[in-house]
């Protein structure tokens, strides 16, 4: 397994290098630059700024310097936010995004598992239809609709929760729920299908025949196996939560990475845009690797080599 992980890590090096080069070139090919604003810069001032950020050098030399910097772990200074290093911005914003992501993950499990269990245990009865309808709605409603709806309900009608921002656990609930809803819906369907399959098996019938209560049969015997498909779904779910948080961060005014990811491209903040692209790429590669490893751990049929 260690050899598998090492080989995958080695493979990701050229991939990341390619991402650096392509994102660098794309950023530079886009018309307009970081210093193009309504108020034109005095030519002297503009020349000074370009010299300060090394934009007066040939493009290939800039690329080379950037790649060298990245190799040393230096993502350079932000063009837009003077005095901040890209590394520092990421260090402040990433934990925020992770927090929101984790709350989203937790809420998707808390929604999905009970709904799935209810659906399976009351198979083809009204609780099943209700749970699966709810799941279908969860999959269909996009987060930019769900978020504002939740705000209207929980903030302005009921007054239970704060409207957004970051700093307390309550502030994370609505964004977490918004982001987690769609994954929760998927989990509900996976859970229901998994449990239905397990419940029909012999050992469950045996447990029932022993006179165990229905609660013990489900909770102690069936659920443990039925949850496996959900666990394997968590990898892709985490990845999509982290990368997909841009909209939710905006709706709830959360100072995470999402807004930097979008705005840095619009601002032509070259270093910050490339830094966030690189980070997201790294996270996706890492999470995919983690999922593959987890499959190997959880399912003996999967051979990593």
Q: Is 209 one of the binding residues for other proteins (CB under 8 A)?
A: no
Least distance (Å) between residue 226 CB and other proteins: 10
Q: Directed axis angle between helix 86-121 and helix 169-199, to 10°? A: 40
Residue 266 near other proteins by CB under 8 A: yes
Identify which of residues 89 and 132 has a Cβ nearer to other proteins in the complex.
89
List the one residue from 7, 52, 68, 205 that touches other proteins (CB under 8 A): 52
Q: How far is the CB of 8 from other proteins (least distance, A)?
A: 18
Q: Is 211 helix (H, G, I), strand (E, B) or coil?
A: coil
Near other proteins in 228-247, by CB under 8 A: 228, 231
Footprint of other proteins on residues 104-123 (CB under 8 A)? 105-106
CB of 52 vs other proteins, minimal distance in Å: 4
Residues 246-265 that bind other proteins (CB under 8 A): 250-253, 255, 259-260, 263
Identify which range of 12-20, 92-100, 180-188, 274-282 contacts other proteins by CB under 8 A.
92-100
- What is the longest distance spanned by two Cα atoms in the chain? 88
224 is an interface residue for other proteins by CB under 8 A:
yes
Note whether 288 binds other proteins by CB under 8 A: no
Tokens of 33: 């630059």
201 lies in the site for other proteins, by CB under 8 A: no
Nearer to other proteins, 14 or 31 (CB): 31
Beta carbons of 133 and 300 less than 8 angstroms apart: no
Q: Does 39 bind other proteins (CB under 8 A)?
A: yes
Contacts of 245 (CB under 8 A, 6+ apart): 97, 100, 101, 104, 179, 256, 257, 258
Q: Is 164 in the site for other proteins (CB under 8 A)?
A: yes
SS3 call for 77: strand
Stretch that binds other proteins, among 59-67, 132-140, 160-168, 274-282 (CB under 8 A): 160-168
Q: Smallest distance from the beta carbon of 201 to other proteins, in angstroms? A: 13
Q: Are the beta carbons of 123 and 114 closer than 8 angstroms?
A: no
CB burial class (10 A; 0-12, 13-18, 19+) of residue 202?
A: exposed
* Cβ 101 to other proteins shortest distance, Å: 10
Work out how close the CB of 29 gets to other proteins at its nearest, in angstroms, rounded to a whole number: 12
196, exposed or middle or buried, with CB in 10 Å at 0-12, 13-18, 19+? middle
Q: Between residue 60 and residue 89, which ones bind other proteins under the rule CB under 8 A? A: 77, 80-84, 88-89
Measure the CA–CA gap between 97 and 109, rounded to whole angstroms: 18
Number of residues that bind other proteins (CB under 8 A): 71
Q: At what angle do helices 2-29 and 270-298 cross, to 10 degrees?
A: 160
β strands within the chain, DSSP E? none
180 token code pair: 């987690």
24 binds other proteins (CB under 8 A): no
The reply on whether position 103 binds other proteins by CB under 8 A is: yes
The Cα–Cα gap between 186 and 141 comes to: 13
């Amino acid at each position: 397994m260690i050899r598998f992980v090492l080989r995958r890590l080695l493979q990701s090096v050229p991939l990341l290098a390619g991402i650096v080069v392509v994102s660098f070139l794309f950023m530079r090919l886009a018309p307009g630059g970081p210093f193009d604003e309504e108020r034109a810069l005095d030519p002297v001032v503009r020349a000074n700024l370009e010299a300060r950020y090394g934009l007066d050098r040939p493009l290939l030399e800039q690329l080379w310097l950037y790649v060298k910097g990245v190799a040393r772990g230096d993502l350079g200074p932000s063009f837009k936010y003077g005095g901040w290093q890209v590394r520092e911005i990421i260090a402040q914003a990433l934990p925020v995004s992770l927090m929101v992501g984790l709350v989203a993950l937790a809420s998707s499990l808390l929604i999905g598992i009970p709904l799935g269990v209810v659906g399976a245990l009351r198979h083809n009865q009204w609780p099943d239809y209700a749970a699966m309808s709810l799941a279908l709605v969860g999959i269909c409603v996009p987060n930019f609709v769900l978020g504002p709806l939740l705000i209207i309900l929980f903030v302005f009608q009921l007054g239970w929760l704060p409207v957004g921002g970051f700093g307390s656990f309550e502030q994370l609930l609505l964004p977490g729920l918004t982001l987690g809803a769609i994954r929760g819906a998927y989990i509900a369907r996976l859970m229901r299908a998994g449990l239905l399959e397990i419940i029909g098996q012999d050992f469950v019938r045996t447990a029932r025949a022993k006179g165990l209560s229905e609660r013990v049969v489900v909770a102690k015997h069936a659920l443990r196996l039925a949850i496996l498909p959900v666990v394997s779904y968590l990898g892709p779910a985490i990845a999509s939560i982290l990368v997909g948080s841009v909209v939710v961060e905006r709706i709830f005014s959360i100072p995470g990475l999402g807004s930097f990811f979008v705005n840095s491209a619009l601002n032509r903040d070259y270093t910050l845009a490339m830094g966030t692209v690189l980070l997201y790429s790294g996270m996706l590669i890492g999470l995919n690797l983690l999922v593959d490893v987890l499959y190997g751990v959880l399912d003996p049929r999967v051979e990593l080599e």
